[in-house]
Structure 1
């Protein structure tokens, strides 16, 4: 009987851990402007990320890293559309860019983070 209880307890722990691992890939990020993986022919002036719920601006951050390093950004805010938006201050030159983000969304205390790439190529 003890062996059966121990086996059941072990199985319960294993199933609980498997459940935790399978949810680890969740991200509240739904889409972005510029789009994830996009190749742009026009210079982006802002970054706008859309989430599954309203993000907490105070617990959020956005970074833009390009061929010449990190860009200066200004005015992180929400447009009340479950989004974060920020203005790109430095000139965007042709090349690969990485957007790094972190946020907590309404109704969820977890701080999520991630990154995505886009490319800007001059149309000239």
Structure 2
């Protein structure tokens, strides 16, 4: 985690970690992508519960996405003291185990202070 302070805000990022990961996986020269997943694709467990070519393609796509956003992060700045929460759930269900995903995020002013995503 990298922290950069300014007179008005604190900036958190993991740029160095992402760049090191890209180098370790030999994806430093890969073309960056602006989306993390292809629309309409769902990964499924194989019959033998081992990764497939589709799984590897998804990992490579995620690494290419990380390359595009490696310099982004979270900014914490002075803002009004208002507590706001958002929640969502995906009842489309996972095709392998029929469980759903739910998540939430909580803001204190303009700053994200807590979040979670969990499969049930």
Normalising by the smaller structure, the TM-score range is under 0.3
TM-score (norm 2): 0.24
Normalised by the length of structure 1, the TM-score is: 0.24
Instruction: Name the one with the larger strand percent.
Output: 1
